[in-house]
Structure 1
Amino acid sequence: MLALQLLIIASVVVIPLYFIFKAKFSKTKKISGKTAIVTGGSNGLGQQICIKLAQHGCNVIIADISSAKETLKKLEVYDIKSKAYMVDVSNYKEILKMKEDLKDEFESVDIVVNNAGLIPYKTLFEQTSDEIETLNKVNLNSTIFMTKCFIERMIEKGTGHIVSISSTQGIYAFPHSLTYCASKFAVTGFMLGLKEFLRREKLHGIDTTCILPNIMTTRKDIIDLLDEKK
């Protein structure tokens, strides 16, 4: 039991530190003139990612099931191209259609940011089977589908970057959000596997980044819920 506890503590502390130091000492990538597609970019963290990309001169494509008019408005002040597609990124056919549609305005997609996600703070018994299925489709399937759809062109070009937003709950399970943790563990595992695949295939021009955020104030509904539970 003690050994298991030490293993969990080591995972929670060492793994995030590894990614922090790796990011700190790695070379800064120039993204000016590149094109990034961000899922779930209409609000919250996704919107902030879009803004930060634009600040660095990166063209931004937003893929979201919700309207991204607010994000597009905030991107107007930057000298970049931006466009939003209303698409369900958990549906592979819709992603393929979007990929065809965006070819008219964007030569290629250099960066994929898999940010779309659902955070239901419910116990396993409070969630319906439909809610659980939808959660896994949005949190996991969209990450796999978006990567599958856009990485082939990156391999042809010999360059690209796949970024996925996992969570600290993707390396440490919390009892109040079992299904969310399971989906984020899967995202973390997928990204680790993808990194190893690219290494074994010697596809060194394609980078991967898996980000593990903690609780953020970008989602007012989640903050209000957590305040109620205090």
Structure 2
Amino acid sequence: MANSHTGRVAVITGAAGALGKAFALALAKNGCDVAIADINDASSVVAEIQTLGQKAFSEICDLSDARAIAVFADNVLSRFERCDILINNAAFMPVIPFAELTLETFRKFEAINVEAAFLLAQHFTPGMQERKYGRILQIASSTTGSPMPGFTSYVTTKMAGIGLTRALAAEFGNDGILCNALSPGLTKTPESAKNLPPELFDAVRHQQLINTTEEPKDLVGAMLFLTSEACGFVTGQSINCDGGIQF
């Protein structure tokens, strides 16, 4: 599995920290060059990747802006000439009660959580088709199976991301491009630990068959498989990596 990443170019959104950073470093350790788009500065992640002997660059990119996405994609192709692996990891996920949700905010969820993935696929799949190889991984969410109050926009757009993944799998099934979604459970990151009560992590942990709180490192193995040559005949799937949570 590790060798199949050697010499590949991976593009990851939202990799300035937490889950995206864990993915970026794991791919670099397995031989990938990495490009990162994030609303936050990811230069420290780039520096870590470079210490691993791989090429990397990052760009501060507003993924709700189609023009910014186009500039980023052009810069990726200028630097690396291709994208072999696209991981749509960035997410907009404030908790907003339905009564307080505006159409403008709902559309921001759509833009970042769905439209950015669509636009990046438009930019990178032509090259994948030419080379008859590509991996597109959409980071979904276990909340699609168990929605909670305040998550209307997030759950809706994460479900749309799964739909996009399955549609792309149908479009590119004969082109060597495999498209899958990976759904984490409640994952403890600095941001989630700051925004969510500790008792929620405890409650979710007790609902899992694996009785430990999920962390970014727990998703790396599944990501590496779904972006590797070993994935071979798996496409159009939504795979849960949530400790076997029982709703």
Partner of 2:73: 99
Residues 1:215 and 2:186 aligned together: yes
Q: Give, in whole Å, the separation in 2 of the partners of 1:174 and 1:193.
A: 26
Describe the SS at the equivalent of 2:15: coil
Going from structure 1 to structure 2, the CA distance change for 1:168 and 1:29 (only over 3 Å counts) comes to farther
Task: Specify the code of the residue in structure 1 equivalent to 2:24.
Answer: C
Residues 166 and 210, structure 1, Cα contact 8 Å, conserved in 2 = yes
Q: Give, in whole Å, the separation in 2 of the partners of 1:51 and 1:212.
A: 20
- The structure with higher relative contact order (CA 8 Å, sep 6+) is 2
Q: Give, in whole Å, the separation in 2 of the partners of 1:100 and 1:180.
A: 29
Residues 170 and 186, structure 1, Cα contact 8 Å, conserved in 2 = no
Residues 1:198 and 2:172 aligned together: yes
Residues 35 and 109, structure 1, Cα contact 8 Å, conserved in 2 = yes
Where does 1:14-93 land on structure 2 (aligned, <5 Å)? 30-93=4-67
Residues 63 and 85, structure 1, Cα contact 8 Å, conserved in 2 = yes
Q: Give, in whole Å, the separation in 1 of the partners of 2:57 and 2:115.
A: 23
Unaligned residue ranges in structure 2 (runs of 5+): 201-247
Residues 89 and 138, structure 1, Cα contact 8 Å, conserved in 2 = yes
Describe the SS at the equivalent of 1:53: helix
Partner of 1:187: 161
RMSD between superposed Cα atoms in Å: 1.9
Describe the SS at the equivalent of 1:208: strand
What is the aligned-residue identity percentage? 25
Q: Give, in whole Å, the separation in 1 of the partners of 2:96 and 2:8.
A: 39
Residues 38 and 62, structure 1, Cα contact 8 Å, conserved in 2 = yes
Task: Specify the code of the residue in structure 2 equivalent to 1:225.
Answer: N
Going from structure 1 to structure 2, the CA distance change for 1:81 and 1:229 (only over 3 Å counts) comes to same
The structural deviation recorded for 1:116 is 0.9
Residues 170 and 187, structure 1, Cα contact 8 Å, conserved in 2 = no
Going from structure 1 to structure 2, the CA distance change for 1:171 and 1:227 (only over 3 Å counts) comes to closer
Task: Specify the code of the residue in structure 2 equivalent to 1:141.
Answer: E
Residues 1:226 and 2:181 aligned together: no
Task: Specify the code of the residue in structure 1 equivalent to 2:63.
Answer: V
Q: Give, in whole Å, the separation in 2 of the partners of 1:29 and 1:147.
A: 25
Q: Give, in whole Å, the separation in 2 of the partners of 1:110 and 1:221.
A: 29
Q: Give, in whole Å, the separation in 2 of the partners of 1:101 and 1:75.
A: 18
Where does 1:142-181 land on structure 2 (aligned, <5 Å)? 142-181=116-155
Unaligned residue ranges in structure 1 (runs of 5+): 1-26
Residues 95 and 149, structure 1, Cα contact 8 Å, conserved in 2 = no
Going from structure 1 to structure 2, the CA distance change for 1:29 and 1:134 (only over 3 Å counts) comes to farther
Describe the SS at the equivalent of 1:212: strand
Farther off after superposition, 168-177 or 31-40: 168-177
Partner of 1:108: 82
Describe the SS at the equivalent of 2:45: helix
Describe the SS at the equivalent of 2:181: strand
Describe the SS at the equivalent of 1:103: helix
Q: Name the count of aligned residue pairs.
A: 200
The structural deviation recorded for 1:72 is 1.5
Describe the SS at the equivalent of 1:210: strand
Going from structure 1 to structure 2, the CA distance change for 1:80 and 1:130 (only over 3 Å counts) comes to same
